[in-house]
Amino acid sequence: MTERRWVAVLALLSFFLFTAYSLATPLFEASDELWHYPFVQRLATGGGLPVQRPDQTDADAPWRQEGSQPPLYYAFSAALSAPFDSSNWRELRRLNPHADMGVPTRDGNSNAILQTPADAFPWTRAALAVRAARLASILLSTATVVLAWLAASEVFRESSPLRRLLVMAFVASVPMFAYISGAINNDNAAVTLSTAGLWWALRLIRLGRWDARSAAIAGAVTGLAALSKVSGLGLAGLFAVAGALSAWPSEGDLKTRLHGFAGALPRLIRFGVILVGVAAAISAWWYIRNVVQYGGDVLGWSAFLDAVGRREPPADLTKLWSEREGFFWAFWGVFGGLNVIMPPWIYDVLLALTAASGIGLALKLVRPRNSRQATPPPRPAGWKTRQAFAMAAFALIVFIGLLRWSALTPASQGRLMFPCIAAFGMAWVYGLGSLHRRMPLIATSALACLALVVPTSVLIPAYAKPAPVWTERQAVPVGAVFAGAIELVEAGAETAAEPGAEITLRLNWRVLATPAVNYSVFVHLVDEDGVIVAQRDMHPGQGSLATAELPPGRLWSDRYTLKISGFERAPRNTRWEVGLYDAASGARAALSGVPGRENAVQFGAVRIMPRRDPPALLQYEPGIVLARYAISPSTIAPGEALQVDLEWSANRLVDGDFVASIQLLDARSGKAAQSDMPPAGRTTSGWRAGETRADSRSLVIDPGTQPGAYRLMLVVYRPETFARAGGYDARGIYIGDQIELTRIWIK
């Protein structure tokens, strides 16, 4: 079979693979699809481009931040979905208020949407329109796979066809790429056009044809990419780097090379003018519209950030570095709302293969030439080396843009590097091949097998509804009936846990009569004073069941995994507390059958035990460490003093003065007490590594404080600027600059 036929076969297989991912993912469950589709639907029904305004609700602007995105992808998707009646799309898009977006959990609740029977095949109306819109992504990503082969054909022009085909297979087989390819997401258009731009830049480097026709094509690709996503503007940087590399002479001393480069400048300037002119003719109108609509903001980032939320303060490199694991995982595959993952060992294997390819590339750079080849054949003007530099520069441009964006809003997602995925594929194949000629084939085949099994082994189970039976009987009889319709029959749970650990409660439910409300379940661990120590809320069936659609007699088993804060006080006695409520109104379902408190049933006993070898609780950027703390009493009255004892240390020389603020806040951040002073009342500047300090505070509760549960908060800040220091847990993960240590009851 010829190479081109293999290309056609791999393209067809890629199309079917992307379709499989699309079919395995329920409507609106793919990353941000619940916001991308409303933009598509608006265009498909003639609504025009959305205008972002602060404080818009989901009813006003269901596209949320995506309404600020350039419109090319949405217009293409709208053209495919427009023939179908989508008028009932909001009925299918029932937002899950308890969705654990960005947080993989042990007990499910991965769904962003409370799914409806309308998602079942055969599809009709809006379900069909959404599937048609997904087809746009499948087609675009299939084109990306072919374009990756074209780019590889420029770099591996003199190599075996297998290398070029393996690059194509790599791109299609990255599970996250396959997943996004089956979802409504404008990244698909941006990646396709970026890959086209990379191919064209590599071709121009090889041929050296920096003429008007080549510039017009480069400008068209750049303009279309910029009309798909702001990151598409990075193609202009790629062509600038490629042109400079191509124009730099490969021989002669520095003066000769500079002279030769200066002679090529007029040609490059003409190329750049044509490129910018064509790109502007295609996409400038969108950026001019941003200036008009958003007060001079040419990129429209202000409106985007208003909708999606800003990091306050913006993240620095230390914070971004703490997110490196999630960044890497999200390149290979973190699905749904960044909360559905593959088994962790798979990421370890992929990390090892990535490192191996990097080592192979490094060895290729330092490895001496074959001694039997005294005079290697000259390469045409060193174009292969220049291509490598151009690909590295493009990856750096994309990465720097991503760092800047991630500093402004939580966006440390490795998949946002997909505009460079063809370059990564070439590095993968070339690097592994440098270690052993068979490694690229073996590794890419394994990656393809992984991509094939993810839909059935990861995606479908993540959103499956529970079977209409109890998975196993539980030891604790409960017999609580809520709203006269749903019975909590029995429960089973562990009886002890430590701070920082997870604990799971298993419940068996039965429907007595179909309720009129889609109830949510709340599960609390509460202490003797009723203070909530840990909490979990979700719809029944691990977030998948709508109670108003359940028939009488329906059984199901649920599990609720609660995370106990690593800062929680111990030892401590707690109990389970369970109830149902309407998430829309907050009203709890009436409890009958057993005694309870505020329409919640309490049962069991859980002892929170002290850690046997407790790690440091918090590490702050300046080098300040909170080793441990204690409070007394746990229940207090207004006017009395709460004793807070802290133990501080330093893990490096502290540069600067800092204040530790202890605050007691209610649910609305109303303040009952506060103490601000340096740790142990001494300056922190010059505090040396290994030194410890005991810090005792007495917080007098404001006499007018209302009864209730209050949060004990810790903030470390610079007194001259009030800039807060970021806190990191024992693993080095950033957890915020305002930390809740525990809760107490004010009576």
Kindly report, residue by residue over 597-620, the tens digit of the pLDDT.
899 999 999 999 998 877 888 998
357 with 446, same domain: the answer is: yes
Question: Which residues face 507 on adjacent strands?
Answer: 491, 558
Task: Name the domain boundary from 459, 490, 520.
Answer: 459
Alpha-carbon distance of 346 to 590, in angstroms, equals 46
Determine the pLDDT at residue 147.
98
Is residue 216 within 8 Å of 274, Cβ to Cβ? yes
The answer to whether residue 293 sits within a structural domain is yes
The answer to whether residue 318 sits within a structural domain is yes
> Which range among 252-261, 300-309, 378-387, 422-431 has the greatest average pLDDT?
422-431
623 with 597, same domain: the answer is: no
Coil, strand, or helix at residue 33? helix
Q: φ, ψ for residue 538 (rounded to 5)?
A: -165, 165
- CATH number of the domain that 726 lies in? 2.70.50.60
pLDDT above 70 covers what percent of the chain? 98
Determine the pLDDT at residue 379.
41
Is residue 543 within 8 Å of 111, Cβ to Cβ? yes
636 with 549, same domain: the answer is: no
Determine the pLDDT at residue 349.
96
The answer to whether residue 469 sits within a structural domain is no
Alpha-carbon distance of 387 to 155, in angstroms, equals 7
The answer to whether residue 626 sits within a structural domain is yes
> Which range among 56-70, 86-100, 182-196, 707-721 has the greatest average pLDDT?
182-196
**Which among 658, 657, 678, 674 has a CA at the least distance from the CA of 666?**
674
Q: What are the tens digits of pLDDT across the range 154-170? A: 999 888 899 999 999 99
| Burial class for 336, CB neighbours closer than 10 Å (0-12, 13-18, 19+) | buried
Coil, strand, or helix at residue 575? strand
Q: φ, ψ for residue 406 (rounded to 5)?
A: -65, -25
Edge-to-edge order in the sheet of strand 727-728: 692-700, 641-650, 624-632, 618-620, 727-728, 734-736
- The answer to whether the peptide bond before residue 380 is cis (omega within 30 degrees of 0) is no
296 with 436, same domain: the answer is: yes
Query: pLDDT confidence of 368, banded at 50, 70, 90?
Result: low
Task: Name the domain boundary from 562, 588, 608.
Answer: 608
| pLDDT mean over 276-284 | 97
pLDDT above 90 covers what percent of the chain? 70
Residue 411 clears pLDDT 80, i.e. is over it: no
Determine the pLDDT at residue 222.
97
Q: Higher pLDDT residue, 57 or 7?
A: 7
Edge-to-edge order in the sheet of strand 708-717: 635-636, 739-746, 708-717, 659-665, 671-677
Place of tokens 């469950």: 29
Other Cβ atoms within 10 Å of 464 Cβ, number: 13
Alpha-carbon distance of 331 to 317, in angstroms, equals 19
144 with 96, same domain: the answer is: yes
Query: pLDDT confidence of 376, banded at 50, 70, 90?
Result: very low
Residue 378 clears pLDDT 60, i.e. is over it: no
Task: Name the domain boundary from 582, 608, 634.
Answer: 608
The answer to whether residue 118 sits within a structural domain is no
Angle, alpha carbons 248-253-256 (nearest 5°) = 60
User: What Cα–Cα distance (Å) separates residue 185 from each residue in 63, 124, 725, 726?
Assistant: 12, 22, 36, 33
Q: Higher pLDDT residue, 54 or 398?
A: 398
Determine the pLDDT at residue 259.
78
Structural domain of 183: 3-110+124-459
Q: What are the tens digits of pLDDT across the range 73-86? A: 999 999 999 999 99
Coil, strand, or helix at residue 190? helix
- CATH number of the domain that 493 lies in? 2.60.40.770
623 with 599, same domain: the answer is: no
Residue 207 clears pLDDT 80, i.e. is over it: yes
How many folded domains does the chain comprise? 3
14 with 158, same domain: the answer is: yes
| pLDDT mean over 467-494 | 95
Q: Higher pLDDT residue, 621 or 222?
A: 222
- The answer to whether the peptide bond before residue 122 is cis (omega within 30 degrees of 0) is yes
The answer to whether residue 370 sits within a structural domain is yes
Query: pLDDT confidence of 37, banded at 50, 70, 90?
Result: very high
The answer to whether residue 249 sits within a structural domain is yes
Q: What are the tens digits of pLDDT across the range 640-672? A: 999 999 999 998 899 899 999 999 998 788 889
Determine the pLDDT at residue 310.
78
69 with 218, same domain: the answer is: yes
Query: pLDDT confidence of 380, banded at 50, 70, 90?
Result: very low
Average model confidence (pLDDT) across the chain: 91
599 with 626, same domain: the answer is: no
Q: Higher pLDDT residue, 101 or 576?
A: 576
Token pair recorded at residue 212: 């008007």
Is residue 330 within 8 Å of 176, Cβ to Cβ? yes
**Which among 313, 345, 344, 347 has a CA at the least distance from the CA of 734?**
313
Determine the pLDDT at residue 256.
83
Cα 30 off chain centre by:
12
| pLDDT mean over 399-408 | 89
Alpha-carbon distance of 116 to 612, in angstroms, equals 47
Residue 570 clears pLDDT 90, i.e. is over it: no
Determine the pLDDT at residue 377.
44
324 with 400, same domain: the answer is: yes
Cα-only R_g, the chain: 29
559 with 419, same domain: the answer is: no
The answer to whether residue 17 sits within a structural domain is yes
Alpha-carbon distance of 170 to 166, in angstroms, equals 6
420 with 489, same domain: the answer is: no
